[in-house]
Amino acid sequence: MRATRTDLTLFAENLTTVAKGGKRLLEGMSFELGPSSLTAVIGPSGAGKSTLLGALTGSNPATHGQVIWQGQDLYTHYEQLRFQIGLVPQSDIQHPQLTVRQGLSYAAMLRLPPDTTAAERASRVQRVVGQMQLERQIDNRIGTQLSGGQRKRVSIATELLTAPPLLFLDEPTSGLDPGLDRDVMHQLRTLADEGRVVMVVTHSVLALDVCDNVLVLAPGGRRAYFGPPDGVLAHFGCRDYPQVFDLLDEPDLWQRIPAPPASVETGRLPAMNAGVTQPPLQSMSRQYWTLVRRNLAVTVSDRLLLMMLLLLPLVLGGLSRVVPGDDGFSIARTINERGMMDHKEALTRLTILIMAAALMGTAVTIRELVGERPIFQREYAVGLSPGMYLLSKVSVLGTACFLQGMLVTWIATVGLPGPDKDGALGMGNFEVALAIGGLSFAMAVLGLAVSAVVTSNEQTMPALVGLVMVQLVLCGALVPVAGRAVLEQLAWLAPARWAFAATAAVVDLDKAKRGLPKDERDLDSLYDQTVAQWILDMSMLWILAAIILAVSFWLVRRSATPRH
């Protein structure tokens, strides 16, 4: 059935948003936006522009009122209608490490129907690149080789891949010079003329003349004006827009200048229907492998991350080589001034490795999710699975951290004697490497969990320091925890406790203490050099990693929806 003009008109009826505590963020907002229309939303800070955008896109529904599109209530049928909505947030929604072609190609793999061929995806990418006039920049890196205006056009092109009939933009011209500002607005005019409903939230008034409508919001989310741009100044009786913004902040505005009547007539609202179905989504496995490929491409293109992955094991492994002594992890070879075996050298080397693993795993991932949250939130809104998103991160970065742990152990132990009796399983230093690699992996997952909670990159550094310090204190290397009430139980929750216990079991760290008087032994049952004990320690390490992964999934799912 062919869509009518009424079906392709967006109706907002009496939208009201009430925050906790009763504060009204949006008040009785009603209007209609017809096809091939461009509407600008302006107003002072705190006027509810972002709240309105959330209400119209369904990402943060209004408390009261309804949004009607194609004869359906958006809030009731959000799962079906959300795929017809394009939203360009203030932040870029492409990875800066990728080229324009790479970024759009991966976005096409995730967003287009599963039966779309590679040739069709490439054609769609070329089409949106042409629409946004990015042909000359298609192989440029987004973060370093594009201007601010070009990066914004890449974000718009990303949304155009699915040809949405509704397109919303939040401050697309923010930070651009007047010339680029006007260029972006003219491109939006062209997109609207192709039949779309386009709404742009903006602080700029330089190019309002290309719009069909201007919606002026006053503090409290009230509609002060809705109509053609050439009527704004006359409605407020002002000479210029700065005067209008000053007037909007005056408390007696509504007594002096009543708002125009609501723009939606009840008779104009279309009859409700159920004619829109949800498009087929990519399978979980296809999403996973696409995300893994994209993560690998981002990692290879990110020089800072690559240097961190390669240099941290070299630096931290080299640090362990300055430990005095040449007995490595052998306890039997060490004789102290009392003529007894000494475990200090092995303990120091293990402590450095535990610190290295905790630092490497956390440092690699703790900025990962918060840094690309706008990208994830937008992709989640169009069907991305949070589980596949997190699993792809763990697969790429977790594996890299595990290999880092193996490498740092090899650097720290090569050429030095291994554990007595070749460890618990007979594999010597390789058993230590498995434990250190496992700890680095677990800390990478913990870093992702923290990254899902923090709200800015600035918050990650204190969290990084805190996480590493907690692991060092609770692992048992610096402070004995066995037999100490509360501290021992807390240590069970620290991945480093079980990783250190596994390495201590490999080298039989308590061997030197067994000849001491009972009151000086301070033995730890988790350090017994037996196959069963090593397997128990390693099992607990991986069980903790699995628990942290489950918590991380909940946190990632919780962060998927923007909060205004």
Residue 266: what pLDDT?
45
- CA gyration radius for the chain? 30
Residues whose CB falls within 8 Å of the CB of residue 208, separated by 6 or more in sequence, listed in order: 40, 42, 214, 229, 232
Residue 78, H or E segment: helix 78-81
For 107-212, list the strands marked E by DSSP: 166-170, 197-201
Q: Is 15 helix (H, G, I), strand (E, B) or coil?
A: strand
Residue 124: what pLDDT?
95
Reported confidence tier of residue 210, pLDDT bands at 50, 70, 90: very high
**Pairing relation of β-strands 85-88 and 72-73?**
unpaired
Closest CA to 103 of 150, 155, 149: 155
- State yes or no: pLDDT of 133 exceeds 50: yes
From 38-47, 206-215, 257-266, the region with the lowest mean pLDDT: 257-266
- State yes or no: pLDDT of 20 exceeds 90: no
Closest CA to 427 of 444, 399, 406, 442: 406
| pLDDT tens-digit map of 179-190 | 788 888 999 999
Residue 274: what pLDDT?
55
Residue 511: what pLDDT?
66
Half-sphere exposure of 341 (CA within 13 A, CB side): 21
- State yes or no: pLDDT of 521 exceeds 80: no
| pLDDT tens-digit map of 274-332 | 556 677 778 899 999 999 999 999 999 988 888 888 898 999 998 888 888 777 777 76
- State yes or no: pLDDT of 471 exceeds 70: yes
- State yes or no: pLDDT of 261 exceeds 70: no
Q: Could you tell me the fold of the domain covering 10-96+153-171+182-268?
A: Rossmann fold (3.40.50)
Where are the domains positioned within the chain? 10-96+153-171+182-268, 305-558
Residue 554: what pLDDT?
96
pTM of the model: 0.88
Closest CA to 502 of 536, 546, 543, 467: 536
Write the DSSP assignment of 480-533 as a string of letters.
--TT-TTHHHHHTT-HHHHHHHHHHHHHTGGGGGTTS-HHHH---GGG--SHHH
Residue 272: what pLDDT?
55
Reported confidence tier of residue 338, pLDDT bands at 50, 70, 90: very low
Instruction: Report the alpha-carbon distance of residue 459 to residue 367 in Å, rounded.
Output: 9
H helices present in 321-428, as ranges: 344-365, 368-371, 373-381, 386-393, 399-413
The Cα-based distances of 411 to 131, 318, 321, 403 in angstroms read 53, 7, 8, 12
